[in-house]
Amino acid sequence: MRRGSPAAHFSRPESASRLLLLAVGAGFLLGVLLATATSSPAGPRAPAASVGPGPATPSEADVYRNPILFSDWSDPDVVRVGDDFWLVASSFHEVPGLPLLRSKDLVHWSLAGHAAPRLPSPRYDVPRHGGGVWAPSIRFDAGWYQVWYGDPDLGIFVCRARDPRGPWEAPRLVREAKGWIDPCPFRDADGSLWLVHAWAKSRAGFNGVLTVHRLAPDGLSVLDEGVNVFEGGTRHPTVEGPKLYRRGEWVYLFAPAGGVKTGWQLVLRSRSILGPYEERVVLAQGPTGVNGPHQGALVDTPSGASWFVHFQDRGAYGRVTHLEPVTWKDGWPVIGEDPDGDGTGQPVLVHEVPGVARDAPAVSPQVSDEFDGPDLSPMWTWNANPQAAWASLAARRGTLRLFPAARRAGSPASVASQPNVLRTRFPAERFVATALVTLNGKTPGAAGGLAVLGRDAAYAAVARTAAGWEAVFASGDDVLGEGVERVVERRPVRSGRLFLRVAVEPGARLRFSTSQDGAAFAPIGGEVGAREGAWVGARLALFAAPLEKPGRDDFTDVEWLRVEAR
């Protein structure tokens, strides 16, 4: 650890550093708001314990600020069905996979569940960081919600459901392939079905190419070897993440290019899905502080207004979500604001809210958990396909019981590489997370704790010794490679019941502390820095450390995890 579719269907559509600065005076703030507000004052409200997006005060109710979701919902795609917007994001190796978020207004989102409760077994019965679910797409067609994703090692999959809240069919392999990623299905105006995808250089040996295939009438198999409709070359390197739409006589292919951290949004258009395509850069960073504004979804409101949802890579925080207005000029989309009128937009930092569902509740994804339900909240994911023996919510009411796994011979020793680690996203740039844990274990070496995991890792835990209990802090570099966390500080505590806390500061700087009474917290381990994982942001995590021969009573009870934004 270092220290110091526009529409609800495949077919044609149904048919905004912050610019709004904290003012030097109330009059200035009011003037800016009057210039950007709509006629209705009853727009989205900020949540009471806000770690989500939205207006910070009632006087800002008619504007939103980017990012709308300061959390790692990477590679977002969005579809509207009726008055509901549904967003799906990449999940890579985490299980359950394919998180689904729901919104009524495109600004406020809640986590509704996952489209893939498990990933293909036995491959994902063990952690495979950086593998799994890459850049999905979501569409609604013929009464089915469909989520398509590429696994760069296995091929193209689709999950289907009649209701996006589930149940979902298990992932179905549509085409076995190596290096096919970022798939998007498309039903054209004549009813024909198509699939566009990109390529992973790490598996295929090349990238920067977009390929279109015909799909079978049921949409569940690929009929041909495809046509390469665009090659980015040196103009648009690493072009990927394609999304297909039709608008009038034009087929539009939206695709990010230039790389995750510094890229731009490219749009191609043609009168035929197989091309030839014209090209234009429609969104780039410009003079803003929003690096790499690209890869996402074009979506229309019921009134026909167009919006674009995309990510911005923020390192350890992951890929946070932005919302941009879209205008159309000469048959081309202009995303964000275009102050010089050249057709290439730049991200908005503050903008008038979309004109939909002004009375929608100011929801945001869950970030704290009292473990008082019968099932784990969808805010949690595991490092691999879960087993029933890893955890229980029924053993002690209102408590999550975590059981240690047997240490696998030859397996990585890092906590970050254990399959039975429970993970959740960073919810804000600056926050405090506290967990109350009780270690029941009698076996020396038993431990349970609160961690921050990425390519580097750190944790605070309560551990069992031959003499009693101790609080420990451990950290490590390159834990997804050859590194491992090592204990840096330890101190005795009177029991196995301990409050564990991590404070996250801007720049993803971490300070851990512990308390025996929940009131007086003592720092442990000094300051360290979080680091992103394999294609994902850093994660908060709860764990029970593996043991050579775990006993049935070597469990850790977690009474709650509470997160507060600062």
Active site residue 240: yes
Q: How far is CA 453 from the centre of its chain?
A: 15
- Going from the C-alpha of 219 to that of each of 143, 177, 253, 503, the distances in angstroms are 13, 17, 19, 48
Nearest to 153 by CA among 170, 128, 136, 172: 128
Q: If phi over 0 gives left and psi between -120 and 50 gives alpha, with beta otherwise, what is residue 373? A: beta
Burial of 13 (C-beta count, 10 Å sphere; 0-12/13-18/19+): buried
- Going from the C-alpha of 34 to that of each of 62, 222, 325, 351, 491, the distances in angstroms are 9, 53, 19, 12, 57
Catalogue the E-assigned strands of 82-188: 84-88, 97-103, 110-116, 134-141, 144-151, 155-161, 172-176, 180-187
Catalytic residue among 60, 62, 72, 75: 75
Distance CA 37, CA 448 (A): 50
Distance CA 278, CA 530 (A): 42
Distance CA 318, CA 537 (A): 4
Pairing of strands 243-247, 84-88: unpaired
Torsion angles phi and psi, residue 332, rounded to 5? -120, 140
Q: If phi over 0 gives left and psi between -120 and 50 gives alpha, with beta otherwise, what is residue 191? A: left
The label of the residue with tokens 């102050």 reads 339
Active site residue 75: yes
Catalytic residue among 240, 300, 477, 557: 240
Q: Per the omega criterion (within 30 degrees of 0), is the bond before 171 cis?
A: no
Active site residues: 75, 240
